[in-house]
Structure 1
Amino acid sequence: MRTSFGFNEKLIFHNNRGQSLEISVTSPFFLQSADGIDSLENEFYNVKNYNEDGTNIKGSSVRERNIVVGGQLRRQDKDINRQKLIRFFNPKHRFTLEYTNGDITRFIDCRVEKSPVVSKHIWPEFMISFLCPNPWWYKEEQKYEIAMWVAAFEFELEIDDGGDGIEMGYREPNNVVNVFNDSDTASPLRIQFKAIGSVVNPYIKVVDTGRIVKIDATLKGGDVVTVNTKRGDEYAILERNGTEINYFNYLSYDSDIQLSVDVGDNLIRYDAAEFVSNLEVSIYFTPQFVGV
């Protein structure tokens, strides 16, 4: 349990109604303790054989994270803030916890496990318990572009006497990008396929593993298909002429809807069955961390 906090450290809770509440040493909701923000708990799957000492570990997974925040209401407006605290942490709402400390910012999604218990002392103390189904802290998305056009038109302008015209831009010749994941675990992806003309069956593939996400369809110019592989929020959506269409059924049978990038280097290639020159691809991933 952490019981000492600096002036730059803040726990800012955002709910799904667009409201926020800060708990820190400078807030009316004074931060005294936070349990569970630093460490993760591993769960082992063991097999014990007859007449064998100990057990054999066959696998493991990280358990959901429990965070318990304790604090104190300052005497000024304590009754108003008591009601504000209780109403804000409604168990029916969804929350994102934002941790900040100077230049470091991390997020984690959570739900209220036990709504605030607030004493009625002169300096009222409170305690709130949260459950984080995905136990990893994360930061803002990172973006990598594989297929794109590069601007080539600049001043001072020189026109070739040979009559070859003016090059306004050129297509990036490389169809492979190295997505470097500098976090603590494999991270899910958000993949965006953009068609600037007709494209047949566009896909991306992780070079080392062969894992793939492929659209079994022909995209028209202007179409954008976004595929999200975040656990619990998997989707494929087509944006066409300002309308969003569920495109999940157009993923190929061998697509990995939980495709992720491992820690370190990940070579990812894009291609299409036809008209690959009309395809632009952007890859987004969210780095994840053990603690803050």
Structure 2
Amino acid sequence: MRAKHMTITLTSGHKTLVLGKGQPYRLRSVQGLEAAPITIASAANAGMNGATVTNARLEARSLVLGGTIAYLDELERLRERLARFLSPHEEGLCTIDYCGTKRQIGYRVEAFSIDEMANLWAPMDFSITLFCADPMLRSTDSYGRNIAEYLPQFALPFCCTAKKKCIMGYRKTSNTIVLKNDGDTAVGLKAVIAAVRGPVNDPVLKNQATGQQIGMKMTLAQGDTLTISTLPRQKQILLNGENAMMKMDRTSDLTFALTPGDNLLCYEAADGRSNMDVRLYYTPEYLGV
């Protein structure tokens, strides 16, 4: 039977600290990974029992890591390294590997303490508290897909004559694709639309599962790249790196997201659809691990 294991890796700038089995910093306990605090807002009902829920949201979470410095011959060096690594002035990324399941979350150091040392020759216990302003745990894999791709047909042995010619690749006739979000919540995405084979007029991206869409009232010249981000705190529309938010169609929805499960996405254009390359990038998010 496979034994349970957990390894936590803290990354800040170019520095890395690993806590887990077989490491100088052993991991004794972890709190806060299972769920973030929940706040439910409600309004009292007039003339009837109970209340009406008006909002529910996740609060920022704190992760409390209990550990031990087990290498007695390097105790002071490891203690100093730990203290210097845990700076509250730097943001970091916490990667959790729990029995093969990997998740990531951003953090700042909220507290760090070392237990009272009754015996100078005994292993040293410590506690680290990480403040995570965004409570969602993210997959360590970001998914990307070109939904307007050409499928390659080149193979060896290769034979081509001027009379018969040959097909080196073909474009998918369908302009739809199913993207699976295996996370616990809807997530925004980043779409990169490139006019690689000619001009494109008024490109549109639709999620047929939710009815949301993002459309642009503009013409992309050959070589232009349109970048659309619906990620929280990162919503933007850029044309060749310049702000193009004013070119957005009035029916567009910047809360455009992939819901948990299968999402049927399609792309359209008033003219030049076959000239488009459409690449989508997203990262599933989870409530806990």
Decide: shared fold, TM above 0.5.
yes
Q: CA deviation at 1:259?
A: 1.8
Offset from partner CA, 1:74-126 (integer Å, 9 cap, x none): 22322222222122111111111101145322111122222x11235133222
2:4–2:99: 8 Å Cα contact kept in structure 1? no
Query: 2:152 maps to which residue?
Result: 151
Q: Cα gap change, 1:125/1:51 in structure 2, threshold over 3 Å: closer, same or farther?
A: farther
Q: What does residue 186 of structure 2 align with?
A: 186
Mapped to 2, the partners of 1:53 and 1:192 lie a distance apart of: 51
Q: What are the equivalent positions in structure 2 for 1:68-147 lying under 5 Å apart?
A: 68-74=64-70, 75-114=72-111, 116-119=112-115, 121=117, 122=120, 123-139=123-139, 140-147=141-148
Is the Cα contact below 8 Å between 1:46 and 1:57 reproduced in 2?
A: yes
Secondary structure, in 3 states, of the residue corresponding to 2:83?
helix
Does structure 2 conserve the Cα–Cα contact (< 8 Å) formed by 1:147 and 1:175?
A: yes
Q: What's the TM-score, normalizing by structure 2? A: 0.86
SS of the residue corresponding to residue 179 of structure 1 reads strand
The offset of 1:151, in angstroms, is 1.7
Of 215-224 and 105-114, more deviation after overlay is shown by 215-224
Distance (whole Å) between structure 2 residues aligned to residue 67 and residue 90 of structure 1: 16
Q: Find the aligned partners of 2:113 and 2:247 in 1 and give their Cα distance.
A: 49
Deviation at 1:144, TM superposition (A): 2.7
What is the 5 A alignment of 1:205-220? 205-220=206-221
Residue in 1 that maps onto 2:23: 27
What runs of 5+ residues in structure 1 fail to find an aligned partner? Answer: 1-5
| AA partner of residue 228 (structure 2) | V
Gap change, CA 1:76 and 1:278, over 3 Å in 2: same
CA RMSD of aligned residues (A): 2.4
Secondary structure of the residue that 1:277 maps to in structure 2? helix
Change (3 A) 1:278 1:144: same
- 3-state SS in 1 of match to 2:29: strand
Deviation at 1:149, TM superposition (A): 1.1
Q: Partner of 1:3 in structure 2?
A: none
Secondary structure at the aligned position of 1:92 is classed as coil
Describe the SS at the equivalent of 1:202. strand
The worse-fitting range, judged by mean Cα deviation, of 267-276 and 38-47 is: 38-47
Aligned-pair distance for 1:205?
0.9
In 1, the alpha carbon distance for the partners of 2:24 and 2:244 equals 47
State the Cα distance separating 1:57 from its structure 2 match. Answer: 2.5
2 CA distance for matches of 1:36 and 1:8?
A: 17
The 10-residue stretch of structure 1 (51-60 or 193-202) with the greater mean CA deviation from structure 2: 51-60
Partner of 2:270: 273
- For 1:7 and 1:24, the matched residues in 2 are separated by 12
Asked if 1:38 corresponds to 2:39, the answer is no
Could you report, residue by residue, the CA deviation over 1:178-200 in whole angstroms, capped at 9, with x for unpaired residues? 11111111122111112112212
Percent identity between matched residues is 25
**1:247-286 to 2 correspondences below 5 Å:** 247-286=244-283
Distance 1:94 1:255 in 2: 34
- Secondary structure at 1:87's aligned position in 2? helix
Cα distance in 1 for residues equivalent to 2:30 and 2:79 = 19
1:61 to 57, 64, 81: 57
Distance 1:124 1:216 in 2: 63
User: 1:226 is matched with which residue?
Assistant: 227
Structure 2 residues without counterparts, runs of 5 or longer: none
Residues 7 and 25, structure 1, Cα contact 8 Å, conserved in 2:
no
What letter matches 1:194 in structure 2? Answer: A
C-alpha deviations, 1:194-234, integer Å up to 9, x for none? 21122122221111333122344322323333222221223
Aligned length: 280
Specify the code of the residue in structure 1 equivalent to 2:178: N
